[in-house]
Amino acid sequence: MTFLRTALCQLHPITGAIKQNTIRLCATLDELEATGCDLAVFGELSITGYPPEDLVFKKQFIADNLAAMQKIAEHTKACAAVVGFIDRNEETGAIYNAAALCYNGKIQGIYHKQKLPNYTVFDEKRYFTPGADATPLNLNGLAIGLSICEDIWHIEDGPCAEMARQGADVLVNVSASPFHRSKEVQRSDILVRQAKHTQLPIVYTNIVGGQDELVFDGGSLVLDATGNVVAQAEQFQEQILQVSVQVPAGSFVSRYKGAEANTLADDIARDDPQRDIWEALKLGLKSYVHDNGFSTVCLGLSGGIDSALTAVIAADALGAENVHAVLMPSRYSSDHSIGDAKTLCENIGISHTVVEIEAMHKSYENQLLKAFGTEVKGITDENLQSRIRGVTLMAFANQNGWLVITTGNKTELAVGYSTLYGDTAGAFAAIKDVWKTQVYTLAQWRNTMASGSCIPENSITKPASAELRPDQRDDQSLPPYDVLDAVLIDYVENNQTATEIIAATAADEESADMIHTVTRLVDRAEFKRRQSPLGTRVSARAFGRDRRMPVTNRY
């Protein structure tokens, strides 16, 4: 036996930033060349970023990506590289999700992805033609079974099994596998099963970072031929991890002369699901803000749990100095809400400004009274306050070059408990895919961290309220959140109908009426969700790329 010194290059490619990504890849190759590394493995579509979506339909985009691939290949020396890119058949015009094996200044072989995912957040059949060749590629006498992401999820009928039959010595998979709750467990299980089935070691490199609503968690790893994890990179951060992979002895001779020890990532940190969600929310927000050329955000801070949690996520992700809170009390705001908001700002070190909206509210009421001929009241008046706050936040953003972060959660988004052009106005919804009950769990979890309790206990324990009318509480309009979220999870994430939920829960007449009411609210709010900002996906079925329902819908 001998060792293949491999570098798992777990990087954050920015979608569309072909030049910037290419410079980064070449610089990484220079660093690895000097260490005696044999093979650098980058992630899926590491030149273009993933997913490129309809950029693929731009001929110049494909041409620029191909030129970048050639430049990277020419940059390689003795250290080989596996690089994800978009390939094109010049005769047929077919486009492929591809990976190239390069060394000594040339592309030595290309693999085209065969299993194109077309479910949940994936639309690859819209863009790519599936490949058909599973022949291993040659790396100085070593047979590399190269595959891309979804390919390795198919055990018996996939290209990896065929590569093993054709004499591959090692499987190398480049991936862009987005995070959701429990995804790492699913991914690890598949890789273990694949290693045991093919009896080959696996080198798996995943990208890391946010891309719009998706977030990629890294967690790249190497398994031996029995399915044991040899080494693993961290989640939610960039890392270049060099690993010595045991391969069959033959004509291959490693360049590496150092010790062969490998390091496992800290498994303790991986046992906390709240930590994973928190890190995903942080990374999704940070990537969106920075990759779009911004550094600072603002948000409306009410003293409630949702805005408090959002503010802490933003401070953790961007640094407290880059987060500005705007407190916008009205005639209905309680003293403790203003106090809780100020306490939070002090606890996490973010700046804040107080903008009283009473004068603006009265001005609107007076002008609308003239137009309507009657008093502004009810839902019209409640939404008016929310929209005044939205306008105010956008003014802060425009004046200072900031982004507005909205604070609504998944439960509110589901049932339409939000105001268009009010609390939905903004660039990014940090907790868009977090149910209300989970908001409380995350807040309590964050308060146990080593940095100390930061969210005021009153923000967690007081009854939830929009404070848009006297003595308003959420439970006057909605079922208790534990009951509501259970129904919503079945309807939205588990894709059940109201009838199925009623049958499964053996609901009595009152509960059945509630379930029908809730599901109707979800359907009626579809038009709001279509106009709401993006937000980080942390569940297996989020609003957005996952769940695409017709707005006009009578089913």
- The total number of structural domains that make up the chain: 2
The answer to whether residue 507 sits within a structural domain is no
> Do residues 278 and 232 both lie within one domain?
no
> Do residues 138 and 210 both lie within one domain?
yes
> Do residues 337 and 454 both lie within one domain?
yes
Q: How far apart are CA 128 and CA 142, in angstroms?
A: 29
Q: How far apart are CA 435 and CA 309, in angstroms?
A: 12
The answer to whether residue 369 sits within a structural domain is yes
CA count, 13 A, side-chain hemisphere, 32: 30
The CATH number assigned to the domain holding 240 equals 3.60.110.10
Distances (CA, A) of 236 to 210, 233, 483: 9, 10, 32
Of 210, 236, 271, the last residue of a domain is 271
> Do residues 259 and 343 both lie within one domain?
no
> Do residues 282 and 348 both lie within one domain?
yes
The answer to whether residue 396 sits within a structural domain is yes
Determine the pLDDT at residue 502.
Answer: 97
Catalytic residue numbers read: 44, 113, 149
Of 246, 271, 296, the last residue of a domain is 271
The answer to whether residue 498 sits within a structural domain is no
Radius of gyration of the chain (CA): 26
The answer to whether residue 482 sits within a structural domain is no
The CATH number assigned to the domain holding 330 equals 3.40.50.620
> Do residues 138 and 220 both lie within one domain?
yes
The answer to whether residue 480 sits within a structural domain is no
Q: How far apart are CA 39 and CA 82, in angstroms?
A: 8
> Do residues 397 and 437 both lie within one domain?
yes
* Residue 98 contacts residue 45 (beta carbons within 8 Å): no
Determine the pLDDT at residue 269.
Answer: 45
Determine the pLDDT at residue 139.
Answer: 96
Q: How far apart are CA 89 and CA 96, in angstroms?
A: 8
Q: How far apart are CA 432 and CA 310, in angstroms?
A: 10
Tens of pLDDT along the chain (555 residues)?
799 999 999 999 999 999 999 999 999 999 999 999 999 999 999 999 999 999 999 999 999 999 999 999 999 999 999 999 999 999 999 999 999 999 999 999 999 999 999 999 999 999 999 999 999 999 999 999 999 999 999 999 999 999 999 999 999 999 999 999 999 999 999 999 999 999 999 999 999 999 999 999 999 999 999 999 999 999 999 999 999 999 987 889 999 988 777 767 655 345 689 999 999 999 999 999 999 999 999 999 999 999 999 999 999 999 999 999 999 999 888 778 899 999 999 999 999 999 999 999 999 999 999 999 999 999 999 999 999 999 999 999 999 999 999 999 999 999 999 999 999 999 999 999 999 999 999 999 999 987 778 999 999 998 888 778 887 888 888 999 999 999 999 999 999 999 999 999 999 999 999 999 999 999 999 999 999 999 999 999 999 999 989 998 888
> Do residues 136 and 224 both lie within one domain?
yes
Q: How far apart are CA 231 and CA 221, in angstroms?
A: 6
Classify residue 91 by burial, with Cβ atoms within 10 Å: 0-12, 13-18, 19+: exposed
> Do residues 345 and 434 both lie within one domain?
yes
Sign of dihedral through CA atoms 75, 81, 86, 92?
A: positive
> Do residues 184 and 333 both lie within one domain?
no
End-to-end Cα separation, the chain, in angstroms: 62
The answer to whether residue 375 sits within a structural domain is yes
Q: Can you read off the two tokens belonging to residue 403?
A: 């982004």
Determine the pLDDT at residue 62.
Answer: 98
The DSSP bridge partners found for residue 390 are none
Q: Can you read off the two tokens belonging to residue 30?
A: 């220079």
In our burial notation (b when 16+ CB lie closer than 10 A, e otherwise), range 99-126 reads bbbbbeeebbbbbbbbbbeeeebbbbee
Q: How far apart are CA 257 and CA 365, in angstroms?
A: 78
Determine the pLDDT at residue 262.
Answer: 76
**Structural domain harbouring 303:** 274-473+526-530
Determine the pLDDT at residue 295.
Answer: 97
Return the closest-CA partner of residue 445 out of 274, 270, 273.
274
Residue 449: phi and psi, rounded to 5, are -70, 165
Return the closest-CA partner of residue 97 out of 74, 118, 81.
118
> Do residues 111 and 40 both lie within one domain?
yes
> Do residues 294 and 409 both lie within one domain?
yes
Determine the pLDDT at residue 265.
Answer: 63
Determine the pLDDT at residue 453.
Answer: 84
Of 271, 293, 321, the last residue of a domain is 271
Determine the pLDDT at residue 467.
Answer: 77
